[in-house]
A and B are shown apart, each in its own frame.
Chain A
């Protein structure tokens, strides 16, 4: 059974703080993703990693960075948190698409981050 875990369900930080969100998957998936979800805006991709130390910007990378030092772990970093980064953050993982076969993304439980 695929499991994606995130380090915190709820997090409250102050403006200007450096924030780390951790995600771990136990299914040996190559791909890992960070999204944020806001009412009316849906799921928006922040960053994507397709292998250790490899990353690709998503649709809204500004203000964020990522780290993937091990295959199972993908970290999202807010260098200097701002109030407009208050959101639900969702991590996901998947196998790579091979031979035209698509694989689903499995989501973690989410971290609700509030920046005050």
Chain B
């Protein structure tokens, strides 16, 4: 069973601090990784994706990928109350595999 694992939380972070969300995956052939945000009662929406080792930055968000350690993370700088949501990590397998495997999500709460 190919798995993506996340700490379910809840993770509480003070407003203005850095929130760090982590994800590990078991399929070493996984090619690309996605971070989705899901507000309560809403559907997931993409924050960013990454497929090369290293960091990828988009505004206050930074995704980090380490394929050797099979580890993906999402950093949120200057956390805002509006960042309070569940964050889903997803991995796509080998080339030609259209499906994503999702983790169970980490619930993040930003404390004003």
Q: Which residues in A have some Cβ–Cβ distance to B below 8 Å?
A: 31, 33, 40-45, 48, 50, 58, 90, 94, 96-97, 100, 102, 104-110
Main secondary structure of the interface of B (DSSP, over half): loop
- The 8 A CB mask of B84-96 against A (1 = contact, 0 = none) is 0000100010011
- The 8 A CB mask of B43-56 against A (1 = contact, 0 = none) is 11110010100000
A-B residue pairs in contact (CB < 8 Å), sample of 29? A40-B104, A42-B88, A42-B103, A42-B104, A42-B105, A43-B44, A44-B102, A45-B99, A45-B100, A48-B98, A90-B43, A94-B98, A97-B92, A97-B96, A97-B97, A97-B98, A100-B51, A102-B31, A102-B32, A102-B49, A104-B34, A104-B46, A104-B49, A106-B46, A107-B43, A108-B43, A109-B42, A110-B42, A110-B43
Q: Which residues in B have some Cβ–Cβ distance to A below 8 Å?
A: 8, 31-32, 34, 42-46, 49, 51, 88, 92, 95-100, 102-105
Residue of B nearest to A35 (CB): B102
Q: A68 to B12, alpha carbons, bound, how many Å?
A: 43
Judge whether A41 and B104 touch: CB under 8 Å.
yes
Residue of B nearest to A109 (CB): B43
Q: A109 to B31, alpha carbons, bound, how many Å?
A: 27
Which residues of the partner chain B approach A45 to less than 8 Å between Cβ atoms?
99-100
Which residues of the partner chain B approach A104 to less than 8 Å between Cβ atoms?
34, 46, 49
